[in-house]
Amino acid sequence: MVFSFFKKPPQKMPEPTSARPRMPLPEMKIKQDEAPAPAKLSEPLPDLDFVTDKSTVPPAAKAPLALSAIDEFEAEFTESSVMAIDIDQDVPPLQADVEQVVVLFANDQDAAARSVLESLLSAYSGSDGVRLWRLLFDLLQVQGEQAAFERRSVEFAQQFEMSPPAWRTYETQAPTATGSGAQVFVLQGVLTDEHRSTLQQLGAMLGKAGELRIDCSKLAGCDEQIAGMLADMLIAARRLGKVSHLAGVEGFIKRLDERLQAGVRERESAWRLLLELLQRQGTQAHFEERAVDYAVTFERSPPSWEELPVVEQSEDTASAVPPDEAIYLAGPLRNQRFNELQEIIEQQAQPVIDFSAVPRLDFYSAGQLVNRLAPFKAKGKDVVIRSPNHLVAELMAVVGLNKHARIIVPKS
């Protein structure tokens, strides 16, 4: 029998003209033990390990949000168009252009992202054009280019006959004066080396006269460097007799206490922070128990319990920051693993993650967020991501986060 090795190859089917290939994205596999530095456009983007096997994820029942606060929020906000994006399908030209912009932005290539956006504004009209303009407005806000923002706002209003978004700044942690003269300083999100200036601002306020309330109700966690800085500041302020109160810190103490294990010789700064928080907020028995654990773990003398004077808090100071059950993240999120976030979500029936103070999210962190939220979605828990800017929201869609959480962005 003779086989022909020169058969005529089958004719290639013509590509559809209504779609074009999307921008190539990296193979997605995350190494849990190391976080790569942000990639340049000419380099491969970091690998991400996403949960993509849909056959293993049982369909979750669609349940209405239980919290009235979310219902009130949705009166002014709407689900982003990212919720309808299916990254497994062929991508139309607009989506390919959007992906190019958000990938550049996620990798800190703001000038290139802005150049691409400005070149595309005249290529799209209607709702497609509005989508690109919103990305540009958010980029200008992140860059602090208020003059350019105002010029573009006039062009936007003339072209689309609708109001442009309002200018806002990313003030993540700011002191707030109250009617009694006391001040409030808010710590929120997961604090890393990116927030060193925030801790320096807190240190300056602790060194001044007057009453200070440190609101920790939105504090999700901190890394070892920030833990050491915060412990040193609080210890020094207490020994100097600075009148300072820690409000809403119970949840943070509980998470920190559960994570620090006796005999594990790491995170010494976090241990010192825990002992200082227990000195201020805990019982003497709990403090002394953990002090013994510290001595055994690090083979050094722990701090001793000190009786603190009882200081009355004014009503204005006690109610300066309204309570909020949302999980607040703040600052640029780079190389984040979100370990603390996973623990908090497990304890909440209706988790809401607030991104209003997050100007930027990188690819590695976006992938880790997918890995953290996918198991909750598989269990039927409805996680809401609220108030990301449009650049961050579009990146979430690129990595498939919109399949594991509801993403809600401002209407404007």
**Average pLDDT score, the chain:** 78
In a domain, 370, yes or no: no
Total number of domains constituting the chain: 1
Per-residue pLDDT for 337 more than 70?
yes
In a domain, 281, yes or no: yes
In a domain, 213, yes or no: yes
Helix (H, G, I), strand (E, B) or coil at 379: coil
Per-residue pLDDT for 279 more than 90?
yes
Q: Could you give the dihedral angle defined by the CA atoms of residues 186, 192, 193 and 195, in that order, rounded to the nearest 10 degrees? A: -20
Residue percentage of the chain with pLDDT more than 90: 42
Backbone phi and psi for residue 195, each to the nearest 5 degrees, phi listed first: -105, 20
In a domain, 241, yes or no: yes
Of 193 and 257, the structure prediction assigns the larger pLDDT to 257
Copy the structure tokens of residue 39.
């990639």
pTM > 0.75? no
Q: Considering only 23-32, 107-116, 232-241, which range has the smallest mean pLDDT?
A: 23-32
In a domain, 248, yes or no: yes
Give 289: exposed, middle or buried? Use CB within 10 Å, 0-12, 13-18, 19+.
middle
Q: Considering only 86-95, 107-116, 119-128, 389-398, which range has the smallest mean pLDDT?
A: 86-95
In a domain, 311, yes or no: yes
In a domain, 18, yes or no: no
Containing structural domain, residue 307: 176-318
- 139 band by pLDDT with thresholds 50, 70 and 90: very high
Residue 305: closest CA among 293, 289, 317 = 289
Q: Looking at residues 188-211, what average pLDDT do you find?
A: 85
Q: Considering only 87-91, 220-224, 260-264, which range has the smallest mean pLDDT?
A: 87-91
In a domain, 239, yes or no: yes
Per-residue pLDDT for 12 more than 80?
no
